[in-house]
Structure 1
């Protein structure tokens, strides 16, 4: 399986869809006088902790890819990659959603309700922006080093060392094989 980096256009599409949905919700809420805008304070807190957890897991995968960590379950690495991609795309849409609500309420900030909506949505949009960046970084951290293939000089040297070691032979200073005694 070869995982590809998420194209940048996907982030902009998700952001645009979130903006359109947020604008629609704001227009609907203001025209019908329903209380649908804003967000509870638990949402930015959960998004922040989710982003931090995914970043910590991505750092563990990166440590394994660099060789600093000996063992890592491959399913864990794939799941962290998927979580990073999901976090960045979902938070890109949420950034548009909450950003649009905050922008639509800026003109009515003299009312306490709208001032509260702008504050909460702005904080949540900022956390979503941070999570988009964390998701992109996490996706980068989950990359494996390139495999040069069996014909690379490093691969040939490793194969020769394994064959020499398996035969019980070592090389003397002149590069000629000698038998261990």
Structure 2
């Protein structure tokens, strides 16, 4: 399995989509009895704890990659990589979502309800940005060094040295028996 790094623009698009959704949700529900603004404090704490757990798992995979640990369950390593990718993208979307809500709360801060939600939105936004950063760092920690295959940066160097060694070992035309006969015929002997 060959996993690629998550492109940076996934995070930008996720944050923009989240911001649009957060802004639109607050805007459309401002006249209703239900107002899904902000996040309860325990949700922000839970998101932070989830990010820390995933980061610790990624650190364990990184220790294997650097050679400090001899064995690791491959399924666990792959699961950790997937969790890191998901945490980073979800963190970006949620950061945008809470930032969109925060914009609406700041615009309507004269209303007491929205004024009270500003703190919750700020904390949730900071925690989800931290989750995004932890996911990106965790994904980087799970990155394996390139194998000694043809895509390895040193493959060209090895290929040149192997070719030069192979050329040195192959008999040259002057060294073969047929060329000796040719030289003898040309010399008249």
Q: TM-score, normalised by structure 2?
A: 0.76
Answer yes or no: is the 8 Å Cα contact 2:26–2:104 preserved in 1.
yes
RMSD: 1.6
Q: Please state whether the residue corresponding to 2:69 is helix, strand or coil.
A: coil
Residue 110 of structure 1: aligned partner: 110
* CA distance in 1 between partners of 2:55 and 2:37 (Å): 30
Q: TM-score, normalised by structure 1?
A: 0.80
1:33 Cα deviation after fit = 4.9
Residue 43 of structure 1: aligned partner: 43
Give deviations 1:24-50, integer Å, cap 9, x for gaps: 111112133532212111111011000
Residue 96 of structure 2: aligned partner: 96
1:107 Cα deviation after fit = 2.5
Q: Whose Rg is larger?
A: 2
Give deviations 1:78-125, integer Å, cap 9, x for gaps: 000000000000111000111110111102223331122111011000
Residue 9 of structure 2: aligned partner: 9
Answer yes or no: is the 8 Å Cα contact 1:54–1:84 preserved in 2.
yes
Give deviations 1:58-96, integer Å, cap 9, x for gaps: 010000011100110000000000000000001110001
* CA distance in 1 between partners of 2:121 and 2:29 (Å): 15
* CA distance in 1 between partners of 2:69 and 2:89 (Å): 29
Kindly report which structure 2 residues correspond to 1:110-149, keeping only aligned pairs within 5 A, or say none.
110-149=110-149
Gapped runs of 5+ residues in structure 1? 154-181
Answer yes or no: is the 8 Å Cα contact 1:22–1:99 preserved in 2.
yes
Gapped runs of 5+ residues in structure 2? 159-189
Q: Please state whether the residue corresponding to 2:31 is helix, strand or coil.
A: helix
